[in-house]
Structure 1
């Protein structure tokens, strides 16, 4: 049995307002070919299918067209779980129709762990042609993104520490309940088939920030939890799990030192901070000796290039790219000592006649000059939301002894927005 683990497609996402539909379409075309070539039985999508709760018609078309192609191909099942960017109601709306195509959608928790457990057969039962009466079968714990209200009850007067402890305890309890029920179902399958339990892989899906996971600047991740509320420990996943397919972090990585507890990462670079990171999907093959993992590199469908330095270095790099007929999208960070008020004009001239596009220019020299004169005019793109809030507190002369409580309240607001997948920057 072969399972392919992906996550964080973020269909419809833009980069500095640049549309990326051609990239998404190219990725899905490549993914479909890979699934066919590798004879993948089950495709897992661990949350954040879309970038917003109200995806565009074009993003929706890409999603549904791909699912229809999977239904017509060799892939037996697709499992989709909701992420913090997704609208659970939107994902769930066509669930019954998609189920007829062997596409299983779990957009949100329902209150019953049973609804998050899938028993999926990778082959057909005996039809008289000699096929096994006990086909390859996997037990899937399809756990979507867990919102605060899904796993705990708010109480009046509770402190931030109380909220944190209650939230983490609720997440742990939820995974434990789903896992225990899944283990019982696997035991029944093994007894019926008179096979060892490991013949029926137990796979856990999740969309959260597990302790030990890493993100990088510019990868587009908005922390699932803010500040000290951030990370759940990896031991919430059952030891009996043969593979844990995680979503939320955009860098492919293993968690807790285990090759089989993994973030697949986003298939496309979500920001210029990821330009040097190879993207991949996780192909897991289950055999008699247990699971075997291979990471399949995802091609780069649109090259991104971050250029930083003085003018000579920036101009030289652009010239090199032009000679190579590059069609890269560029982010330019000017840090030279010479003041260049006409930087954008010079850059436009440098890329003129090429296929390159400059998506963002940051002139740190001018920012420093302005700051020295006491007339800071940074753009919001240069600051994160916490820096904006801190500067507001300073600008309004809020006393130091009052700032801690206000900053904590602000963090909780960001937390609530992140849960709903709403922009916070």
Structure 2
């Protein structure tokens, strides 16, 4: 029997508004090391988005490498890591040869030789126990070349076919290796993409991977020869098409207050004699988040109730009362003095409505996506509605190209 642990979308270094979250990331990675040992995990698979940006801080990188070092002295024989759309392929792959000594395999971009994407992982006596098709986030430039004059629909169709073709190539190599060298070894594949049927939560930080509807890749591109599909990119743990062998593990930490009440998981996978069983393993809450909505009295009541629980809680407050309270931030901060509560954000709705025509505040910008800011600019410039769709498509295409350029040059 082989025991695999599937996780993804750590986003080490991500902030929540102005708050750093290094203590949470450290606590999660420490917990993960303990779970690997306690559950006697043989292989760990991390399906992309290790870091939140292509230029992670020294602290973020230190947490990552300390974790790999800690896992290397556990029962876990192999760690397989793929790159996500937030990761810099060059940064992840720079220490690849050194990490290989610790049995850490990193595939952050598409290698020239497709066979390098198929790993044959060996057990303690040198026999191949698992074949892994390591498919990272597939950038447009990796799998196709844009052609002048392509329409949006043509680009989507060609890109979708290219993604399917890439998976078919890699899985075919795995099947051949299985027949020739390891007939009893299961095949696991990875991916960092948005598969059709997956779901997101508003504000969870999931970035569109491709312009247009193509971001939903059909599940039919994945060969039935794949025994388990370990996916990353979506931040909520979920299965695809009611098939428990095709899963997103989701992010280990809530990416926003809208995810605050969602349970977080890593996935334990057991494969024995061709049978695959999966078990979601609940991740503890390392920092409680809570949103309070209501008028001023309701907010005070909620804050008082939460403060009695004697635990650290970060708050997001949405004031929905009719009275305009311009100094609300000062008043609420005074109310929580001496408690374990910390207010990260206050949305003073009446004040916002009263100043709707004024410039955007810093809090407004922090809560808006790049697309939202762009649309706001179009409205301010009084761009006709029939032109906005074309401009938005061009803007999203430019953002995608800039992100890919950045990840390759870092």
- Shorter chain as normaliser: what TM range? over 0.9
Q: Which residue of 1 aligns with 2:37?
A: 36
Give 5+ residue unaligned stretches, structure 1: 126-134, 191-196
Q: Which residue of 2 aligns with 1:410?
A: 395
Establish whether residue 152 from structure 1 lines up as the match of residue 153 from structure 2: no
Q: Which residue of 1 aligns with 2:131?
A: 139
Deviates more, 1:77-86 or 1:108-117: 108-117
d(CA) in 2 for partners of 1:414, 1:228? 16
Q: Which residue of 2 aligns with 1:225?
A: 210
The 5 A counterparts of 1:291-302 are 291-302=276-287
Alignment length (residue pairs): 404
Deviation at 1:228, TM superposition (A): 2.5
Q: Which residue of 2 aligns with 1:322?
A: 307
d(CA) in 2 for partners of 1:227, 1:314? 40
Give 5+ residue unaligned stretches, structure 2: none
Q: Could you tell me the TM-score, scaled by structure 1's length?
A: 0.91
Q: 1:386 aligns with which of 367, 371, 393?
A: 371
Deviation at 1:224, TM superposition (A): 1.5
Q: Which residue of 2 aligns with 1:100?
A: 101
d(CA) in 2 for partners of 1:412, 1:59? 29
d(CA) in 2 for partners of 1:81, 1:289? 25
Establish whether residue 173 from structure 1 lines up as the match of residue 165 from structure 2: yes
Deviation at 1:403, TM superposition (A): 2.8
Deviation at 1:405, TM superposition (A): 2.2
2:396 partner SS: helix
Cα deviation code 1:284-335 (max 9, x no counterpart): 0111260111111000111111111111111111101111113111111111
1:235 partner SS: helix
Does the CA-based 8 Å contact 1:281-1:297 persist in structure 2?
Answer: yes
1:214 partner SS: coil
Does the CA-based 8 Å contact 1:224-1:418 persist in structure 2?
Answer: no
d(CA) in 2 for partners of 1:377, 1:241? 49
Deviation at 1:149, TM superposition (A): 0.2
d(CA) in 1 for partners of 2:267, 2:245? 10
Q: Which residue of 2 aligns with 1:72?
A: 73
Change (3 A) 1:382 1:15: closer
Q: 1:273 aligns with which of 242, 247, 258?
A: 258
Q: CA RMSD in A?
A: 1.6
d(CA) in 2 for partners of 1:28, 1:382? 28
d(CA) in 1 for partners of 2:372, 2:64? 36
Change (3 A) 1:227 1:155: closer
Q: 2:177 aligns with which of 185, 207, 210?
A: 185
Change (3 A) 1:99 1:341: same
Does the CA-based 8 Å contact 1:367-1:377 persist in structure 2?
Answer: no
The 5 A counterparts of 1:209-288 are 209-288=194-273
1:408 partner SS: helix
d(CA) in 1 for partners of 2:30, 2:369? 35
Does the CA-based 8 Å contact 1:86-1:421 persist in structure 2?
Answer: no
d(CA) in 2 for partners of 1:227, 1:359? 34
Establish whether residue 163 from structure 1 lines up as the match of residue 155 from structure 2: yes
- Which 4+ residue blocks in structure 1 deviate beyond 6 angstroms? none
Deviation at 1:370, TM superposition (A): 2.3
Deviation at 1:107, TM superposition (A): 1.1
Q: Which residue of 2 aligns with 1:112?
A: 113
Cα deviation code 1:68-122 (max 9, x no counterpart): 1222221100001011111101111110111111000111002321011000023
